[in-house]
Structure 1
Amino acid sequence: MASSPELLHDFPPFLRVYNDGRIERLLTTPRLPPSTDPITGVQSKDVLISPDHATKSRIFLPKIYPEDPPQKLPLIVYIHGGGFCIGSPINIVTHSFLTPLVSQTPVVAIAVGYRLAPENPLPTAYHDCWAAFQWIASHATGSGPDPWINDYVDTSRVFLVGESAGANLAHYLAVQAGVNKTGLGIQALIALHPYFSQKEPDKLIQYLYPGSSGADDDPKLNPRSDPDIEKMGCSRVLIMVAEKDFLRQRGIDYKETLKKSNWEGSVEFVENEGEDHCFYLFNPRSEKAKGVIQMLITFINQVI
């Protein structure tokens, strides 16, 4: 009689990995179809950026009044978190975060989709996000493949926003945009409760990223080891950490890494007192979550 597959340990509770290769994700959220939000009027639609895989990205457009004169709006490029192995640009969590941000700023946003590990081992997520960024950059002349971006986006006012592992990916895009001139004007990077590796190897990352040490000597996982950090293609970074978050110190270390580097931009730092990792995503109606949204709106409007 064949034995049951053995559950491999040392993984977070939202991911079960078995020795026969089977994977179970225990933390999932409902996916929402593209729609028009009945309260804010924010419209959304899905786009397939790469013909090589079926991962969708979603564009959010604030309510447009026909009587208003045409205008070009800033663009948020949003990268979701989830440890590189869960999360989606088209689920209710992303919708609840971006809808108020898009409607109240106002901005256009694109939530970038990327293939998840371990089925698609890292660095696939980095490559997918960079391909999406290049697709967005193809609209810089106003003749890209998507009419919403062509008609409503000012590509000289772009903000990179990511939380947790998504902040790691957003930082990677900022650096790559500085190394490879893209035609997009990145105004700022907003890193919310960011994940970066530390000296002690991360066993989950080692599983998701074969060939990597999973530690801070990997330049994709930790900016301290990236020789191109000084070329980061924006002049401002906002870092937000949470007091009770196990990743709090990594956000502080990121701030210090940027300040000690030869990058010539400015860093702003905010701490959410009494809160845990990405609390604003899981309880978006709370007053503190609304405060995070208002803080981001204020920051973006100050920059533009």
Structure 2
Amino acid sequence: MSRTIGDGTTAPPPQEVDECRGVLRVYGDGSIWRSNKPSFEVPVYDDGSVLWKDVVFDAAHGLQLRLYKPASSSTATKLPIFYYIHGGGFCIGSRTWPNCQNYCFKLASELQAVIISPDYRLAPENRLPAAIEDGYAAVKWLQDQAVAEEPDAWLADVADFSRVFISGDSAGGNIAHNLAVRLGAGSVELAPVRVRGYVYLAPFFGGTVRTKFEAEGPKDAFLNIDLIDRFWRLSIPVGQSTDYPLVNPFGPNSPNLEDLDLDPILVVVGGSDLLKDRAEEYAKKLKQWGKKVEYVEFEGQQHGFFTFNPNSQPAKELMLVIKKFITENSI
């Protein structure tokens, strides 16, 4: 493919410098191509047992979130609210992707909860901290609903605003961490919304020093080291390293988590996930500092195992772990 320039001559097409999962291409002249198709083409399993709809939560940036709720609840009490923030290395992914939607169906049904799945601005067009700011805006939207004179009845009639859990998958887990730090224990600034806990699913953390598993783990991992490096290169602010405070929780300029009061945290990772060491170190350090943290590792599982095969035995066990975490922290 060639392109015609002003004087009528032809020039070679711009050189591709980065590519992510076939849905994002970045070229040397700064141009970017995005596919309107997901990188995971799987059927959507919508059997009608879970209702859903989209809502705009940030008109200025054209951002929407997707709400889910069981079509019929097994309890007379209002349902907890569970945020599910999608992954994709801050560069790809969407609430509309089939793997994300299928997992949200599963979460709504199995947890008997209202699920909120927000989108956020993606890199490299919008580098960090854009995604973190959008995660915060998605939670502030819930507060607006809680205090509105005429809230969205679809949500307010079934949702318990005092039992909110913020969960994220991979990059979404990073967003959940940064929200936990920003909001602190009790989430006072969100009143009457009350965050009860956070669930980090294979959180996407980084750092300039490789962990042992990043260096020695399987080269054919689903999320391999080349892709990890590429995601960071495209998403962190220009001129920053992976010790950037929003990337490395223990970086030289990161907030001192030892001094922070945090709500309960559940950290989940697969045993074959190259992010494993960072997730485990995070949980261990916070536990040493007296935080209420639970760490669960699923032996032999790859990054994102719970969304790619939500009916697998490990994914079913994870759902029970999440359900127990919600029950224990709803009192």
Normalising by structure 2, we get a TM-score of 0.79
Structure 1: distance between partners of 2:328 and 2:123:
37
> Deviations for 1:211-240, whole angstroms, at most 9, x for unmatched residues?
452322x22112224326343541x11111
Write out aligned runs for 1:118-267 (5 A): 118-141=124-147, 143=149, 145-178=151-184, 181-183=189-191, 184-200=193-209, 202=229, 204-211=231-238, 213-216=240-243, 218-225=244-251, 226-227=254-255, 229=257, 230-234=259-263, 236-261=264-289, 264-267=290-293
Unaligned runs of 5+ in 1: none
Partner of 2:39: 28
Whether the 8 Å CA contact 1:101–1:297 is kept in 2: the answer is: no
Structure 2: distance between partners of 1:89 and 1:260:
35
Structure 2: distance between partners of 1:267 and 1:209:
27
Q: Which residue identity is paired with 1:168?
A: N
Q: Which residue identity is paired with 1:208?
A: S
Task: Give the drift of 1:69.
Answer: 8.0
Per the alignment, do residues 182 and 231 of structure 1 end up closer, same or farther by CA in structure 2, a change over 3 Å counting? farther
Q: Which residue identity is paired with 2:26?
A: V
Task: Give the drift of 1:30.
Answer: 5.8
* 1:272 pairs with one of 288, 293, 298: 298
Partner of 2:190, secondary structure, is coil
Task: Give the drift of 1:200.
Answer: 4.0
Partner of 2:47: 38
Whether the 8 Å CA contact 1:74–1:157 is kept in 2: the answer is: yes
Whether the 8 Å CA contact 1:7–1:16 is kept in 2: the answer is: yes
Whether the 8 Å CA contact 2:21–2:39 is kept in 1: the answer is: no
After TM superposition, the structure 1 stretch with the greater mean CA deviation from structure 2, 148-157 or 122-131, is 148-157
Write out aligned runs for 1:48-59 (5 A): 48-59=56-67
Partner of 2:314, secondary structure, is helix
Task: Give the drift of 1:20.
Answer: 2.1
Task: Give the drift of 1:182.
Answer: 1.3
Per the alignment, do residues 160 and 286 of structure 1 end up closer, same or farther by CA in structure 2, a change over 3 Å counting? same
Unaligned runs of 5+ in 2: 1-9, 211-228
Asked if residue 111 in structure 1 is aligned to residue 111 in structure 2, the reply is no
Per the alignment, do residues 285 and 109 of structure 1 end up closer, same or farther by CA in structure 2, a change over 3 Å counting? same
Normalising by structure 1, we get a TM-score of 0.86
Structure 2: distance between partners of 1:54 and 1:31:
26
Q: Which residue identity is paired with 1:81?
A: G
Task: Give the drift of 1:31.
Answer: 10
Whether the 8 Å CA contact 1:49–1:135 is kept in 2: the answer is: yes
Q: Which residue identity is paired with 1:209?
A: I
> Deviations for 1:99-132, whole angstroms, at most 9, x for unmatched residues?
1221122111100111111122221111111111
Partner of 2:265, secondary structure, is strand
Task: Give the drift of 1:12.
Answer: 5.1
The CA RMSD over aligned residues, in Å, is: 2.7
Structure 2: distance between partners of 1:198 and 1:244:
19
Whether the 8 Å CA contact 1:215–1:221 is kept in 2: the answer is: yes
Structure 1: distance between partners of 2:79 and 2:21:
40
Whether the 8 Å CA contact 2:83–2:167 is kept in 1: the answer is: yes
Per the alignment, do residues 126 and 232 of structure 1 end up closer, same or farther by CA in structure 2, a change over 3 Å counting? farther
Q: Which residue identity is paired with 1:28?
A: S
Q: Which residue identity is paired with 2:111?
A: T
Partner of 1:83: 89
> Deviations for 1:122-159, whole angstroms, at most 9, x for unmatched residues?
21111111111111122334646422332221111111
Aligned residues: 294
Partner of 2:293, secondary structure, is strand
Partner of 1:52, secondary structure, is helix
Larger radius of gyration: 2
Per the alignment, do residues 203 and 43 of structure 1 end up closer, same or farther by CA in structure 2, a change over 3 Å counting? closer
Whether the 8 Å CA contact 1:239–1:270 is kept in 2: the answer is: yes
Q: Which residue identity is paired with 2:197?
A: A
Partner of 1:275, secondary structure, is coil
